[in-house]
Amino acid sequence: MKLVILKNNLREGLTAIDRAAGEHANLPILKNVLVKTADNKIRLSATNLEIAASRSVSGKIVEEGSITVPLATLLTIVNNTASERITLETDQNTLFFKTDNYEATIQGLPEEEFPIIPKIENKKEYLSFSADVLRDAVLKILSTIQVSEIRPEIGGMLFDFEITYLKFAGTDSFRLAEKTITETNFTSTFTRGFKVIVPLKTMQEVLRIMVKGEVTIFIDPNQILFQGEDTEIISRLIEGTYPEYDAITPKSFETEMTIEREHLMNAVKLVSTFSGKVNEIKMKLHDGKKVLEVYSMNQALGENKYLVPVKAKGESFETAFNWRYVMEGLKNFESAEVFFGVNGSHRAALLKNPSDASYFYIVMPINMN
């Protein structure tokens, strides 16, 4: 194999896939990148056996071929070379890296020893949308997901597709978020609905790598493929059944409030200075229902409170929340105001845009008794 490639092209390609490389004592080749010529493109691939990422980059292919070399070593060399033009040439299992003033030999391994990158068998059924639409939805969900060995099914993002809409959902059992995309924002050839759970790390990589253009999704029973113009991410799916969260999603509220979002964010951030080990802050709506009191106390530091004007109806209440969870929920909205529905001190509360039902964020109160 002999290639001539620009530094920026090689660096961007390696950087895009480097987090997919693995660490495995019995399979050191997982630290390698597969460099291979295919379809007049230079294809870079990495895998940790759970997720695989590939990026095609432009360059001059003088001689076809392939090799695998340590990804971190190659990326470090590329990052530190001053030359824009790089020549990569192989002799058996050795890669020669050359510029106008630098040369290196990197010991590699043949492609045959590299794990086989899985392929999706069914390419007839797909779901396609812009990277911007996907990014907006994923960002609103990611913060609610936490990997759990006890409950692996909540360690990923739910894709719930039903022909005319696609719902994304995530939960760590203390809060939950759901974002709905309607058929006006995607193209699909699926003739049936489906539910799959995509691992958290996979969605983090999709968010990091696929930043422009169209993203097309293909699904097999055990894996999912995200395909962009020059990038592919293929991942296993999480087995199991996602929690049926509709039963805990509040449909009515004892107390309904409309609050200026920035004002509430300022209150939560400031009052949290005195919160304790479980990040608790208390929210209290007085009988007058014109202000929401946000309060916290720390025996070692002191106490503070912030009064936030609200438009409210329903019952007065006093409830404790984890301030970090409330803040993360508020950050996911762009609206000037938020609707905040509360059902006492033991049942789920809900945040949403008063004029947009496509996204909601649920947070459970803290039981302080």
pLDDT at 154 over 90: yes
- Residue 263: name the closest of 307, 328, 314, 305 by CA: 307
pLDDT score recorded for residue 287: 77
pLDDT at 36 over 80: yes
pLDDT at 368 over 80: no
Residues 6+ apart with CB under 8 A from 185: 129, 130, 133
Helix or strand run (H / E) with residue 71: helix 71-80
pLDDT at 24 over 80: no
Query: Computed from CA positions of residues 208, 38, 91, 58, in that sequence, does the dihedral angle turn out positive or negative?
Result: negative
Averaged pLDDT, 316-330: 96
In the chain the domains, ranked by start, together with CATH numbers, are: 2-113 (3.10.150.10), 127-245 (3.10.150.10), 250-363 (3.10.150.10)
pLDDT score recorded for residue 367: 82
Length of the chain: 369
- Residue 86: name the closest of 11, 2, 7 by CA: 7
pLDDT at 26 over 80: no
Q: In what order do the strands lie in the sheet with 349-353?
A: 194-199, 156-161, 165-171, 175-182, 356-363, 349-353, 337-342, 255-260, 302-314, 291-298, 280-285, 317-322
pTM for the structure as a whole: 0.92
Query: Which segment of 174-188, 287-301, 351-365 scores lowest on mean pLDDT?
Result: 287-301
Q: Residue 40 — very low, low, confident or very high, per pLDDT cuts 50/70/90?
A: confident
pLDDT score recorded for residue 25: 66
Q: Residue 112 — very low, low, confident or very high, per pLDDT cuts 50/70/90?
A: very high
Q: What is the pLDDT of residues 176-197, one digit of tens each?
A: 999 999 999 999 999 999 999 9
pLDDT at 122 over 70: yes
Q: What is the pLDDT of residues 246-278, one digit of tens each?
A: 988 999 999 999 999 999 999 999 999 998 888
